[in-house]
């Protein structure tokens, strides 16, 4: 018999796995709806009242939920609503971009408590990691000074950086951060901070932020198109972030789209034509400029032939991408978000109208086919911070599995 044979099977669960999943379901219900009574939680989650009571008592002991004043409804006994305790957990989020690194600290409900940034010097991770570790320590110290209990309740460090991951690249390729991707970054961060560390691409982080506090809050099926230096998409499918086998799901910026170079048509990656890097090239702004966001915002706030030229090409290609994403994934809505100013996001959406016909064009829609989301330079860092919260408390299939990926 060959002991090396790989046997394929879906992992089973046990009572502990089911209990962990039920805890996550309860926390998620309170996050989405606000305060709920035990009876309301039982109806919403389809758990027995006794199970709900046991979990509520456990969450109270852990400092994750608390009771509010009882409310009398009708003739029955007064109902006691329960709510999440914002101070029940904290997380740190780190964004590593080409020229800057940002760190954010959030509490259990996604409120931002600390945010710090630093410019990254040339030289890649050999020089940058030490600067980043100092930045994390500074944010951590500021959080501890403001909330002494925060350090004890830190659930992890989320990291976000541009993808794609695990493919060949070189440092001369402006669209990839090859030296950072080939560096043992997570190991260095875990060793330097003592925290559990997880990595996702910047578009996935933006989608995580949208799900926690943005336009995707409460949605089970949403696509977030992230407009940053490059272009990507975060996929929220069946209430969970889908990352794919190598963390590269949603790398739409690498898809080929027609473009023009003088009079000769050619095909180039979409992000070469629809991204902040392509806009910077037209506006002659250095992507490393620390005032980049403000400069783009000012350029978009008034009539500008250069912005209009970029807008025309970018919006036409994004119209096609929206059609494709709607056809493949059938989302409730598509959200355009990222490190771009809101005025630019709004103008892009306006220029994309009318959207191309697709399966999503139904009169019974509850949400627009495309809508704006978070639009600020800190969106990715916020999503990175939201990831450890989601990993610890959100319902997900892996939480009920008997494996190292479970809760």
Q: Do 149 and 133 fall into the same domain? A: yes
Q: Model-level pTM greater than 0.95?
A: no
Domains held by the chain: number: 3
**Residue 167: CB atoms within 10 Å:** 13
In a domain, 405, yes or no: no
Q: Please report, in tens digits, the pLDDT of each residue of the chain (407 residues total).
A: 455 666 554 444 555 567 888 898 999 999 889 999 999 999 999 999 999 999 999 999 999 999 998 876 666 677 899 999 999 999 999 999 999 999 999 999 999 999 999 999 888 899 999 999 999 999 999 999 999 999 999 999 999 999 888 877 665 566 678 889 889 999 999 999 999 999 999 999 999 999 988 999 989 999 999 999 999 999 999 989 999 988 899 999 998 876 554 444 557 889 999 999 999 999 999 999 989 999 999 999 999 999 999 999 999 999 999 999 999 999 999 999 999 999 999 999 999 999 999 999 998 999 999 999 999 999 999 999 999 998 888 877 655 554 443 33
| CATH at 101 | 3.30.420.40
Q: Do 158 and 228 fall into the same domain? A: no
Q: Do 235 and 124 fall into the same domain? A: no
**What dihedral do alpha carbons 286, 291, 293, 294 form, nearest 10°?**
-120
Q: What is the pLDDT of residue 403?
A: 45
**Residue 54: CB atoms within 10 Å:** 14
Q: What is the pLDDT of residue 69?
A: 87
Q: Do 144 and 278 fall into the same domain? A: no
Coil, strand, or helix at residue 81?
A: coil
Q: Do 44 and 58 fall into the same domain? A: yes
* Residues 297 and 289 sit within 8 Å (Cβ to Cβ): no
Please name which of 240, 206, 247 lies closest in space to residue 382, comparing C-alpha atoms: 206
**How many whole angstroms separate alpha carbon 227 and alpha carbon 127?**
28
Residue 168 domain boundaries: 89-208+382-395
Q: Do 221 and 369 fall into the same domain? A: yes
Q: Do 139 and 231 fall into the same domain? A: no
In a domain, 359, yes or no: yes
* Residues 129 and 158 sit within 8 Å (Cβ to Cβ): no
Q: Which of 33, 51, 84 is a domain's end point?
A: 84
In a domain, 403, yes or no: no
**How many whole angstroms separate alpha carbon 384 and alpha carbon 159?**
5
Q: Pairing state of beta strands 231-237 and 222-227?
A: antiparallel
Q: Give Cβ neighbours of residue 156 (< 8 Å, ≥ 6 apart).
A: 91, 92, 195, 196, 197, 198, 387, 388, 391, 392
Q: Do 268 and 139 fall into the same domain? A: no
Q: Do 318 and 182 fall into the same domain? A: no
CA dist list (Å): 358 to 190, 323, 354, 364: 45, 6, 12, 14
**How many whole angstroms separate alpha carbon 91 and alpha carbon 105?**
6
Q: Do 223 and 366 fall into the same domain? A: yes
**DSSP state for residue 71 in the 8-state scheme:** B
In a domain, 96, yes or no: yes
């Amino acid at each position: 018999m060959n002991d090396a044979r790989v046997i394929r099977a879906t992992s089973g669960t046990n009572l502990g796995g089911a209990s962990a999943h039920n805890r996550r379901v309860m926390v998620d219900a309170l996050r989405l709806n606000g305060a709920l009574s035990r009876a309301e939680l039982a109806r919403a989650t389809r758990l027995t009242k006794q199970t709900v009571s046991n979990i509520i008592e456990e969450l109270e002991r852990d400092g994750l939920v608390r009771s509010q004043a009882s409310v009398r409804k009708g003739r029955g006994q007064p109902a006691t609503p329960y709510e999440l305790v914002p101070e029940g957990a904290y997380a740190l989020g780190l964004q590593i971009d080409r020229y800057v690194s940002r760190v954010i600290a959030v509490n259990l409900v996604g409120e931002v408590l600390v945010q710090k940034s630093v410019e990254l010097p040339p030289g890649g991770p050999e020089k940058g990691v030490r600067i980043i570790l100092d930045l994390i320590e500074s944010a951590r110290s500021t959080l501890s000074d403001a909330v002494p209990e925060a350090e004890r309740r830190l659930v992890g460090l989320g990291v976000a950086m541009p993808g794609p991951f695990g493919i060949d690249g070189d440092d001369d390729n402006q669209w990839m951060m090859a030296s950072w991707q080939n560096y043992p970054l997570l190991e260095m961060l875990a060793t330097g901070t003592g925290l559990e560390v997880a990595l996702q691409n910047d578009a996935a982080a933006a989608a995580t932020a949208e799900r926690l506090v943005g336009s995707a809050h409460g949605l089970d099926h949403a696509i977030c198109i992230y407009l940053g230096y490059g272009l990507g998409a975060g996929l929220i499918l069946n209430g969970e972030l889908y990352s794919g086998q190598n963390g590269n799901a949603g790398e739409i910026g690498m898809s080929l789209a027609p473009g023009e170079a003088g009079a000769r048509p050619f095909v180039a990656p979409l992000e070469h034509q629809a991204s902040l890097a392509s806009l910077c090239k037209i506006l002659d702004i250095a992507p490393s400029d620390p005032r980049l966001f403000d400069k783009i915002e000012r350029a978009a706030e008034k009539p500008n032939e250069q912005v209009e030229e970029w807008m025309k090409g970018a919006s036409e290609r994004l119209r096609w991408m929206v059609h494709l994403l709607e056809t493949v994934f059938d989302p409730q809505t598509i959200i355009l978000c990222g490190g771009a100013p809101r005025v630019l996001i709004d103008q892009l959406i306006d220029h994309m109208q009318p959207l191309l016909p697709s399966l999503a064009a139904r009169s019974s829609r509850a949400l627009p086919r495309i809508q704006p989301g978070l639009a600020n330079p800190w969106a990715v860092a916020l999503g990175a911070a939201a990831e450890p919260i989601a990993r610890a408390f959100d319902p997900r299939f892996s939480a009920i599995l008997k494996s190292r990926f479970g809760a």
